[in-house]
């Protein structure tokens, strides 16, 4: 049991590093003609043939209702809705800042439950919300013209809000779950439709990318879809969602580090203070969830 938990922690930490590193690959591909919408489209498209092959090759005995399929489609819109917003934010602000702002999503889940489900806010959650709010004020940074790039900031924050809605929906879906690969196939297929439609309307879908762009794009998609996602699922099954959220805090830290090392992002004192406050707030929230679920382990 202890070995399973240690393996689970390792899986979550590796997935967090991958999730934190791949935004650098995505942003690097933008330098060679790629863009956020196109990136999201290929993230949905490239794994799709593999998922379709797995679904067709597996004999599912469970009956699947139209309601479950519909829920999977909605999950797909939310899943790739947040990807569209997050990948697009990299065009305006640093990957570290975008990831930190996106990672506020656990707080949006808490706020939703407090406002609409009348779930009482725990003391640690209130402290976490306060720290995160102050941290955001410190984290936002001016662009090259000395002004805040509100487009990138709002895209990153919006991605967190949509991702929070996705998590809440998956909670409902888990009550009558689809086979996991079927759900992933539906989500990817929906993502192709959503990102393709948005991209064609905006005129931002292109297959005519230079080799350099593909060199960053393909590893990014494969690492996220076929490595990080699987490791995160395996890790969560071994240690639980709440503990997984704690160890996932490595993701925004990784994004900041790789952004500085590989993208030349500048870390200001205010950014450091803001990121520290946000991570502390998220940690407080995760601890509150852990205590509330009675899952405190040593």
C-alpha 292/C-alpha 178 separation (Å) is 28
pLDDT digits (tens, 9 = 90+) for 174-200: 677 778 788 888 999 999 999 999 999
Running DSSP on this structure, what letter comes out for residue 121?
Answer: P
Q: pTM here?
A: 0.81
Closest CA to 19 of 261, 292, 252, 285: 252
| pLDDT for the residue numbered 38 | 95
Q: Kindly tell me if the per-residue pLDDT of 146 is higher than 70.
A: no
DSSP, residue by residue, 234-290: HHHHHH-HHHHHHHTTHHHHHHHHHHHHHH-----HHHHHHHHHHHHHHHHHHHHHH
Half-sphere exposure for 255 (CA within 13 Å, toward CB): 27
Question: Contact at 8 Å (CB) between 262 and 24?
Answer: yes
Question: What are the tens digits of pLDDT across the range 76-112?
Answer: 999 899 999 999 999 988 888 888 888 888 778 778 8
Rounded CA separation 247/245 (Å): 6
pLDDT at 242: 60
Instruction: Provide the total of helices (H) and of strands (E) in the chain, helices listed first.
Output: 14, 0
Mean pLDDT of 204-225: 93
Reply yes or no on whether the pLDDT at 26 is more than 50. Answer: yes
Percent of the chain scored above 90 by pLDDT? 30
69-83, 126-140, 158-172: range with highest mean pLDDT: 69-83
pLDDT at 37: 95
pLDDT at 294: 45
Average pLDDT, the chain: 82
Measured in whole angstroms, the distance separating CA 285 from the mean position of its chain's CA atoms is 18
- The vertex-232 CA angle with 20 and 54, nearest 5°, equals 115
């Amino acid at each position: 049991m202890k070995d399973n938990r240690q393996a689970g922690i390792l899986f979550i930490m590796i997935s967090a590093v991958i999730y934190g590193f791949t935004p650098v690959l995505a942003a690097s591909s933008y330098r060679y003609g790629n863009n956020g919408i196109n990136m999201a489209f290929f993230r949905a498209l490239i794994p799709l043939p593999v998922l379709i092959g797995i679904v067709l090759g597996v004999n599912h005995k469970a009956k699947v209702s139209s309601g479950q399929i519909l829920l999977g489609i909605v999950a797909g819109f939310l899943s790739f809705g947040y990807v569209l917003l997050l990948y697009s934010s990299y065009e305006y602000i640093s990957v570290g800042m975008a990831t930190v702002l996106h990672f506020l999503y656990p707080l949006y889940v808490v706020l939703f439950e407090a406002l609409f489900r009348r779930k009482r806010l725990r003391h640690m959650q209130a402290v976490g919300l306060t720290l995160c709010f102050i941290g955001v004020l410190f984290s936002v940074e001016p662009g090259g013209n000395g002004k805040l790039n509100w487009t990138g900031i709002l895209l990153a924050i919006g991605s967190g809000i949509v991702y929070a809605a996705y998590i809440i929906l998956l909670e409902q879906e888990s009550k009558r779950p689809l086979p996991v690969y079927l759900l992933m196939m539906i989500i990817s297929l929906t993502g192709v439709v959503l990102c393709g439609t948005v991209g064609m309307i905006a005129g931002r879908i292109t297959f005519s990318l230079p080799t350099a762009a593909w060199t960053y794009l393909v590893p990014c998609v494969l690492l996220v879809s076929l490595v990080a996602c699987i490791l995160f699922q395996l890790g969560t099954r071994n240690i639980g969602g709440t503990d997984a959220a704690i160890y996932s805090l490595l993701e925004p830290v990784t994004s900041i580090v790789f952004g500085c090392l590989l993208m030349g992002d500048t870390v200001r004192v205010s950014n450091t203070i803001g990121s520290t406050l946000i991570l502390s707030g998220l940690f407080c929230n995760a601890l509150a969830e852990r205590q509330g679920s009675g899952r405190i382990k040593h």
